[in-house]
A = this chain, B = another copy of it.
Amino acid sequence: MDYFQMSEQELRVHEASLAEQYEAYKQQKLKLDMSRGKPCPEQLGLSKEMLDTVTSGSQLQARDGSDYLNYGGIDGIPEAKELFADILGVSPKEVIIGGNASLNMMHDTISRAMLHGLRGSKEPWAKLPKVKFICPSPGYDRHFAICELFNIEMIVVGLTPDGPDMDAVEKLVLEDESIKGIWCMPKYSNPEGITYSDATVERLARMTTKATDFRLFWDDAYNVHHLTATPDPLKNILSACKEAGNPDRVFIFSSTSKITFPGAGVAVMAASEDNLNAIRKQLSVQTIGPDKINQLRHVRFLKNPEQVQLHMEKHAAIIKPKFDLVLDKFEHEFGGSRIASWSKPNGGYFISLNTLDGCARKVVQMASEAGVTLTGAGATFPYGQDPRDCNIRIAPTYPSLAELEAAIDVLCVCVKLTSIRTILSKSA
């Protein structure tokens, strides 16, 4: 039913009934957490065998005879570079393998740019009066947190089903030399679940930037994280940059956090050899190198892109029913209501729910009081400021189906109640 076609009387009756339901949920003293995109225990179980791939009896020699248990190598073992190069569609020389967190590689890349500059920099970014990043939003809160840490001013641009609003992006980078980067989640984006179109990828690769050291921070976190048998295609950004004559424009990041383990995974970055050689030089001062044995575990377990794909299908089999449950509930509760719209992603970890303007913060607060923890409203925008206060990020993977159902029931009641009250307050 269309809430905007209901009479005040009808709305008030509905409100009373919803308020009763809400109070009943509160009595259940639920404790459900949907705040972060976390794999569930069954997903973690899929990779436990990896822990058996390296034991005291294992062969731990590299091809060159060196021992992976000893010193040597700062940018990853060759086998791991080859595997991730295949997955990302780049060459092994265009890959650096890190420790557990791709976030760490993103942070450190910006930290290095601040202190030492990048290829093409006139000076280190920290010496400039102002550094700005474009932040297509809704987006990933941890990207925005890095900008805040480094006092990088964030410029919001909209996110369309094809990617960032490219007209806006092109205009901004053409005119403003202080814009040094853009955060991109090109595939199954957090939280919208959109995948950049070929045209978007090409325009990002090709566009003219006033800054000589502008970079795409390409967080390809959900590269192989499909939910359907017909994955979204994504054009290869490094190839596109090379073709456009801007080979150094992009830093690609990815990790196995949601392939194997968030608590014991492997992170990777990819870029032009020139870009990476500059980083390798700094890495050789920063560290004696990453954990090589955990890289070896990953290579032995994941083997090749085909095996990775089969492995990811097992993940999808576990989490697809959770996405379906949320989407079915939303359709059932909100279909035709005009009080909510939501994403229907083909992959990734999130469903993005948009309420009526001015409702998101209240909904998240109400849900929290009924024991359902959601990602903080506003978190998907720079500085935590959702200009329309309407976006709520749903992370359906961690809870069990039963818990998820309970949580979404609570959420739906909170959305409906808040919507009705908003409509009533406006008509008053």
Contact = CB atoms under 8 A, between A and B. Distances in A.
Query: How many copies of this chain?
Result: 2
A424 interface: no
A289 interface: yes
Given A70-B261, A104-B288, 12 more contacts: A38-B70, A41-B67, A48-B56, A51-B54, A52-B56, A100-B289, A100-B291, A103-B286, A142-B288, A261-B293, A264-B291, A264-B292
B262 A69 contact: yes
B286 A70 contact: no
Interface in A42-101: 44, 47-52, 54-56, 58, 67-72, 99-101
Interface of A: 36, 38-39, 41, 44, 47-52, 54-56, 58, 67-72, 99-101, 103-104, 107-108, 111, 114-116, 126, 142, 145-146, 148-150, 257, 261-265, 282, 285-294
A264 B69 contact: yes
Contacts of A51: 54-56, 58, 293
Contacts of A288: 100-101, 103-104, 142, 257, 262
Contacts of A72: 263
A269 B147 CA distance: 26
Contacts of A116: 149
Contacts of A264: 68-69, 291-294
A287 B69 contact: no
A313 B358 CA distance: 66
A69 B111 CA distance: 28
Contacts of A68: 263-264
A258 to B, nearest CB: 10
A286 B107 contact: yes
A72 B261 CA distance: 12
A288 B68 CA distance: 25
A277 to B, nearest CB: 16
Contacts of A38: 70-71
B289 A101 contact: yes
B70 A262 contact: yes
Nearest to A281: B149
Contacts of A294: 264, 291, 294
